[in-house]
Amino acid sequence: MSPQQLTFPEELILLAHRENDGKQLIPNNVLNISLTAAELAELAGLGRVELRGADLAVADGRPVGDAELDAVLAQMVKAGKALPPRQWLIRINPLRKRRHYLQRLSERGAFKAGESRVLGLIPVERYEHDDVALVREIRKRLGKVVRGQKPDARTVTLLALAHRSGVLKQLFVIDDGKRLEELVRDDWAGQAVKAYVDRTTTKPDDSGSGLIVLASGGS
């Protein structure tokens, strides 16, 4: 797998897990919502959804051949209306989305799944990077922009998603926050994540530990 073959949600979930031990860098609820925003951004790039004023609507309901993206598109087609991106994030119901992507990328060799036990009793799955070249290449691309390089449109969207979700600050020291804000200010996917984060308490807890508790079903 090469970085060029990755979708926005795949890139984001790779960035959201620490390279050396696979620890998840942001809470589950924020990651799930951010992955949904990333899916919408990917569908927009494929011409399947589009902004109409402040609302996001289906432009072409044909499947794209990606199971996760097609599931989102099908929900939007069924709804049959345009909504602000932030409302789509909730309506699409992102519960367990991160787990779907972890399993998917594990099957493709980007992550490796292992099992351990919490308190010696509760079985958990732990995902660690198996192909670190992938996440390093993505991080390198963002790092160039953080250091001043002008980004292309696709990199702006990924930068916005990483920034608004809180992943970016876990990866880089941001010297020029004003420049970063200017770069991502008009990205609607990032703004939708920001709207969610701004009104949600995201105090770090075990939900951001990078572990999926199988006994309780995980999220």
For the chain, the straight-line distance linking the first and the last C-alpha, in angstroms and rounded, comes to: 26
46 Cβ partners below 8 Å, 6+ apart? 64, 69
Residue type, 8: F
pLDDT single digits (tens) 44-91 = 999 999 999 999 999 999 999 999 999 999 999 999 999 999 999 999
Domains: count for the chain: 1
pLDDT single digits (tens) 118-135 = 677 787 778 999 999 999
pLDDT single digits (tens) 135-161 = 999 999 999 999 999 999 999 999 999
- Which residue stretches of 54-131 are H helix? 67-79, 85-91, 97-107
Do 135 and 14 meet the contact criterion of CB atoms below 8 Å apart? yes
Domain CATH number, residue 79: 1.10.3630.10
Domain that holds residue 177: 3-216
Q: What φ, ψ does residue 49 adopt, rounded to 5°?
A: -130, 160
Q: Which of these, 8, 12, 33, 11, lies nearest to 92 by C-alpha position?
A: 33
The model's pTM: 0.87
